[in-house]
Amino acid sequence: MVLPAIPLSPAAAAAQAYRAVDAGTAAASGTGSDFGGMLSRALEGAVQAGRTADAQSVTAIAGGGNITEVVAAVSKAELALQTTVTIRDRVVQAYQDIMRMPI
């Protein structure tokens, strides 16, 4: 899976990540996608991107590895974190809007 270096917005990045994750896992699992499953897979992807960036950073500090790969991995992890925070903020805002609705 190849992600662009600089997406248009966090929402565009989230949509692209959703399509990529959904296409790969729906075929593998044989089930349809639901919102909870999509969020779970997106969070797993963000955590994995962070672990990859950490591993490549440690390798670079030890004197090995390619600095370009380290920068790309750290940028990908940063984008995943920003996307996760944006989704969390939107979910919290939607919950607050629902709680303010009159019954």
C-alpha span between 39 and 48 (Å, rounded): 14
Does residue 94 form part of some domain?
Answer: yes
The CA-atom distances, in angstroms, between 45 and each of 39, 61, 96, 101 are: 10, 24, 27, 34
Does residue 5 form part of some domain?
Answer: no
Number of domain units in the chain = 1
> Which residue would you say has higher pLDDT here, 73 or 31?
73
* pLDDT for 48: 93
Q: Which residue range(s) make up the domain with 78?
A: 37-103
Residue 54, H or E segment: helix 35-61
Please say if the pLDDT value at position 84 is more than 60.
Answer: yes
Confidence tier at 19 by pLDDT (50, 70, 90): low
Contact 45, 16 (CB under 8 A): no
Is-above-0.75 flag for pTM? Answer: no
* pLDDT for 1: 46
Does residue 18 form part of some domain?
Answer: no
Does residue 8 form part of some domain?
Answer: no
